[in-house]
Amino acid sequence: MFNPRKLPTVLYAEELLDKAFRRASKVSGRNKKERAINKLSTISNVLSDYFDKIIKAHPSYENLPDFYREMVDTVVGIRKLKKSLAALKWANSMCQKIITRSVRKIKGEGDIEGTLKAAYGRIASIINQIDEELRFLNEAKQKMGEIPIFKDLPTIVVAGYPNVGKSSFVAKVSNVKPEIAVYPFTTKKIFVGFVDLNGLKFQVVDTPGLLDRPIHKRNKIERRAILCLKHLADVVLFIIDPTESCGYPIESQMSLLREIEKELDVEVIPVYSKADLHNKRDLPAFSSVNGEGIYDILRIIKNKLNTKLRN
Ligand SMILES: Nc1nc2c(ncn2[C@@H]2O[C@H](COP(=O)(O)OP(=O)(O)OP(=O)(O)O)[C@@H](O)[C@H]2O)c(=O)[nH]1
Ligand SMILES: [Mg+2]
C-alpha cells in the first residue's frame, strides 16, 4: 500500500558528502595504500546504500491506483519525480566508476594522495550536481505527506463553492477537525474523517472549494477536489449556501452543481447549509451551528449508501 509518510528523508548534497567522507575518515588500514582503498570502498558503500534506499522506497508511480497516481502527479509531478530518481541512479553509477578507477590506480602503484584527493573532488562535484534533485525529493516527500490515506470504506465526498460550510459539516459529523474560517479557500488539503452511524461505517472527505469554471482553468488545489470526486466518491454531498454569505451567488453554485452532476457518474445529494440563517427548505437543509437537520442529512446519506451497497 502506498504510504508517502514512510519515504525516507533525503539528505542534501552537502550532508550526504559529509556523511560519506566522515565515515571514510574513520577507517584504518595497515598502510597508506590499504587505508586509501578502505576509504574509497567505504564511500562507495555509503553512497550506494543510501541511493538504493531512496530509489527502492519510491513505488512505481504508474502502477498506483488512479486516485493516488493522479494525486501524486498533481501535488508533485510524476515526471519530475522519475527524473530526480534517475539523477540519483546516474550519480551513484558515476561515483562507483570513479571509485573503481581510483582503487585500480592506487593498487597499480599510482600516486596515492593525489588519486585520493582527485577522487574526493570528483565525487563531491557529482553529488553537488544532483543537489537540486535531492532537495526536490525531500520537498516531494513533504508534499505527498498531505495526500490522505483512505480506508476501504464507503466514501462521501463533500463538495461545493468556497466558504459554504463544507469543513464545518465534516467537523460536525466525523472525528476529523479541518480548519474552518470566515474566508474562502480555507481548506487546501484533503481531510478525511470517519463516521459510525449506528453500525454503518463510512468515511467523509472534506475538499477545497470549487468555482464554476472549466477544468483547464482550475488550479492545483481545485484539481485535488476534482480527483476526490472522480475517483473516491460513492456519494457526493453538494453543499449550497443559499444565504450567499459565502460570497458567491446561488446561480453560480447551482451551475457548479449541474456541471458535477453532468460530469460524474455518481449520486449527488444537493443540500443547503446555514439553515440557522434562512428558511429555504426546497432541499434538505442543515446548520452546523445549531445542529438542525444534521441527522436528516446523515439519514439520507445512509439510505443512498445502503441502496448502493445492495446493488
Ligand atoms: N451561521 C452559520 N455559519 C456557518 C455554518 N457553517 C459554516 N458557517 C460559517 O461559514 C464560514 C465558512 O465555513 P467553512 O466550514 O470553513 O466553509 P468551507 O466550505 O469549508 O470553506 P473552504 O474550505 O474555504 O472552501 C465559517 O465562518 C463558518 O463559521 C452554519 O451552519 N451556520
Ligand atoms: Mg473548508
For residues 240 and 159, is the Cβ–Cβ distance under 8 A?
no
Q: Out of 163, 170, 173, 212, give the residue to mutate to test ligand 1, the one with the largest number of ligand atoms within 8 Å of its CB.
A: 163
Average pLDDT over residues 117-132: 98
CA–centroid distance, residue 307 to ligand 1 (Å): 30
pTM of the full structure? 0.84
| Rounded distance between C-alpha atoms, residue 204 and residue 61, angstroms | 26
Question: What is the predicted pLDDT for the residue at 120?
Answer: 98
Whole-number Cα distances in Å, 178 to 106, 238, 245 = 61, 18, 20
Question: What is the predicted pLDDT for the residue at 285?
Answer: 98
Question: What is the predicted pLDDT for the residue at 256?
Answer: 96
Q: Which residues of 132-165 are buried (b: 16+ CB within 10 A; e: fewer)?
A: ebbebbbebbeebeebbebeebbbbbbbbbbbbb
* Same domain flag for 203 and 298: yes
CA–centroid distance, residue 275 to ligand 1 (Å): 12
Banded pLDDT at 216 (limits 50, 70, 90): confident
Q: Out of 168, 237, 246, 253, give the residue to mutate to test ligand 1, the one with the largest number of ligand atoms within 8 Å of its CB.
A: 168
* Same domain flag for 140 and 182: no
Nearest CA to ligand 1 atom 12: 163
For residues 97 and 122, is the Cβ–Cβ distance under 8 A?
no
Q: Which domain holds residue 286?
A: 155-310
Nearest CA to ligand 1 atom 5: 274
| Rounded distance between C-alpha atoms, residue 271 and residue 131, angstroms | 50
As a whole-number percent, the residues of the chain with pLDDT over 70 amount to 100
Choosing from 118, 144, 170, the residue where a domain stops is 144
Banded pLDDT at 109 (limits 50, 70, 90): confident
Banded pLDDT at 217 (limits 50, 70, 90): confident
- Sequence-distant (6+) residues with CB within 8 A of 216 are none
- Residue 306 is assigned to a structural domain of this protein: yes
| Rounded distance between C-alpha atoms, residue 299 and residue 280, angstroms | 20
Whole-number Cα distances in Å, 228 to 101, 191, 218, 258 = 52, 11, 14, 17
Average pLDDT over residues 286-298: 97
Q: How many domains does the chain have?
A: 2
Point out the ligand 1 atom lying closest to the alpha carbon of residue 287.
31
* Same domain flag for 102 and 9: yes
* Same domain flag for 125 and 34: yes
More confident residue, 218 or 241: 241
Rounded to the nearest integer, the mean pLDDT of the chain is 94
* Same domain flag for 139 and 9: yes
* Residue 130: all three cell numbers together: 544532483
Ligand 1 cavity residues, CB under 6 Å: 162-168, 180-182, 184-187, 208-209, 273-274, 276-277, 287-289
- Nearest C-alpha neighbor of 130 from the set 94, 100, 101, 96: 94
Question: Which CATH number does the domain housing residue 239 bear?
Answer: 3.40.50.300
Question: What is the predicted pLDDT for the residue at 54?
Answer: 97
- Sequence-distant (6+) residues with CB within 8 A of 39 are 24, 25, 27, 116
Choosing from 144, 165, 183, the residue where a domain stops is 144
- Residue 150 is assigned to a structural domain of this protein: no
As a whole-number percent, the residues of the chain with pLDDT over 90 amount to 80
Q: Out of 176, 180, 218, 280, give the residue to mutate to test ligand 1, the one with the largest number of ligand atoms within 8 Å of its CB.
A: 180
> Does residue 19 register a pLDDT over 90?
yes
Quick one: three-class SS letters along 78-129? HHHHHHHHHHHHHHHHHHHHHHHHHHHHHHCCCCHHHHHHHHHHHHHHHHHH
For residues 260 and 243, is the Cβ–Cβ distance under 8 A?
no
